[in-house]
């Protein structure tokens, strides 16, 4: 069985809007109240996936969730016509597009039972995300239904917050070999909440049947959380043997590096110093919220937002690294401006799954033809723009729901309706 890394991107849903629902997410807060462009956002996401395919990378996707979430509103004894504005906005959120928060994934070589384990994230720290897991879990159970190869778990129960793969990294000699799994948790973050609880990370490690000797729990820097790194993937990203990290990503960086090296001596730790790229620059540019990937040539590439290219401190450091002998050999800027304006870069949009693509429901695997059909459908059905005061508009709600159903039909996934 040939194991490869597959990036599953969340299709940006037709309810994509800027309600500013996420405290600690600087971009989301700064753009609260702006007019969003759901059609442009979704097409940008499609083009990112198309570019990955053309780089020779395996690519999958997940469907938008049903919005507004009427079942969640009913559980709160209200509906879109009567809910308070912040509850209405939370029910309408398209935040499931950030598939890095969908689940934590442990590939088969790391698990004692030889299966790939996926645990849906509870996302309970934020109201607008706390009701995603039911729809996410339904897709995970469909896409990874082959129980010979996969074990899909429900979320960790309250009160322990879990934000999925955005606070998780894996180092390994190659994707198909056993690796070191690193869970990054928070304790505090100044004015902003730490979203990943260590008890959630420990519970997932147990559920995934990981070897304790190949598992680490590392605390995220409180300074990073306070600066707007609401998830660890805003300040660090790993791929195969390489950890690419900001100097201030972890609360005790030297201890973290020593623990990693003790368990995986061949790990290569690339640290971006704070005197070259500040935390503010890292958060503004989403330098680390990038896809660090291995190309078919064996070279590593960094797929990063165009905002990183526009930041002279960030781009200057990257150009020096590529010109030297560092492990990152190619820089691939992509335009995901609509997602970035809501607080999610290229890494937020994807969930990494190491598996044999043949064992996955093929309806969730991308190719150029599927992306063409999805793009054509999105261009017809997705709203062109959404202003925050439109969220309760019955006409918009009907358009959003029709658009999602059209996408499900296009992809042969109407059973998710």
Q: Give the active site residues.
A: 163, 231, 348
Give the dihedral sign, CA 99/417/407/379. Answer: negative
197-205 own/partner pairs: CB under 8 Å, 24+ apart: 197/159, 197/160, 197/161, 197/162, 199/156, 199/160, 200/122, 200/156, 200/160, 200/161, 200/162, 201/162, 201/167, 201/168, 203/156, 203/160, 204/104, 204/119, 204/153, 204/156, 204/162, 205/181
- 160: which DSSP letter? S
Q: How far apart are CA 350 and CA 49, in angstroms?
A: 10
- 12: which DSSP letter? P
Question: Contact, 62 vs 36, CB < 8 A?
Answer: no
- Other C-beta atoms closer than 10 Å to the C-beta of 411 total 18
Contacts of 49 (CB under 8 A, 6+ apart): 9, 59, 61, 366, 371
Question: Contact, 308 vs 292, CB < 8 A?
Answer: no
Question: Contact, 90 vs 127, CB < 8 A?
Answer: yes
Written as one string, the DSSP assignment of 238-290 is EETTEEEEETTSBSSHHHHHHHHHHH-TT-EEEEE-TTTS-HHHHHHHTSSSS
Bridge partner residues of 331 (DSSP) = 302
On the question of a cis peptide bond just before residue 68, with omega within 30 degrees of 0, the verdict is: yes
Bridge partner residues of 36 (DSSP) = 386
Contacts of 46 (CB under 8 A, 6+ apart): 11, 371, 374, 375, 378
């Amino acid at each position: 069985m040939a194991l490869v890394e597959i990036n599953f991107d969340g299709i940006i849903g037709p309810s994509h809007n800027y309600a500013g629902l996420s405290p600690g997410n600087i971009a989301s807060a700064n753009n609260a109240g702006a007019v969003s462009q759901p059609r442009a956002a979704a097409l940008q996401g499609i083009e990112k996936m198309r570019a990955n395919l053309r780089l020779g990378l395996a690519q999958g996707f997940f469907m938008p969730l049903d919005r507004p979430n009427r079942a969640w509103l009913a559980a709160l004894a209200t509906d879109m016509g009567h809910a308070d504005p912040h509850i209405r906005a939370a029910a309408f959120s398209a935040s499931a597009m950030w598939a890095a928060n969908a689940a934590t994934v442990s590939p088969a070589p790391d698990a004692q039972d030889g299966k790939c384990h996926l645990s849906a994230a509870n996302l309970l720290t934020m109201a607008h995300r706390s009701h995603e897991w039911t729809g996410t879990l339904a897709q995970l159970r469909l896409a990874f239904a082959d129980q010979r190869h996969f074990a899909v778990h429900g979320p960790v129960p309250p009160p322990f917050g879990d934000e999925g793969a955005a606070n998780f990294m894996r180092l390994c000699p190659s994707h198909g070999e056993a690796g070191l799994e690193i869970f990054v948790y928070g304790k505090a973050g100044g004015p902003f909440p730490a979203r990943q609880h260590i008890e959630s990370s420990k519970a997932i490690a147990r559920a995934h049947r990981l070897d304790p000797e190949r598992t680490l729990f590392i605390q995220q820097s409180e300074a990073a959380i306070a600066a707007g790194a609401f998830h660890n993937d805003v300040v660090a990203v790993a791929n195969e043997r390489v950890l690419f990290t900001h100097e201030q990503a972890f609360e005790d960086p030297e201890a973290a590096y020593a623990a990693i090296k003790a368990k995986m001596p061949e790990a290569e730790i690339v640290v971006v110093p704070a005197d070259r790229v500040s935390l503010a620059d890292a958060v503004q540019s989403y330098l680390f919220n990038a896809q660090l990937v291995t190309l078919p040539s064996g070279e590593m590439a960094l797929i990063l937002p165009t905002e990183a290219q526009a930041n002279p401190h960030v781009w200057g450091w990257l150009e020096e690294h590529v010109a030297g002998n560092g492990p990152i050999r190619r820089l691939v800027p992509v335009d995901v401006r609509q997602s970035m304006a809501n607080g999610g870069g290229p890494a937020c949009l994807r969930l990494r799954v190491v598996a044999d693509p043949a064992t996955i429901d093929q309806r969730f695997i991308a190719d150029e033809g599927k992306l063409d059909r999805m793009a054509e459908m999105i261009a017809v059905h997705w709203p062109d723009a959404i202003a925050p005061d439109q969220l309760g508009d019955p006409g918009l709600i009907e358009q959003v729901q029709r658009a999602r159903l059209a996408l499900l039909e296009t992809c042969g996934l109407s059973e998710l309706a």
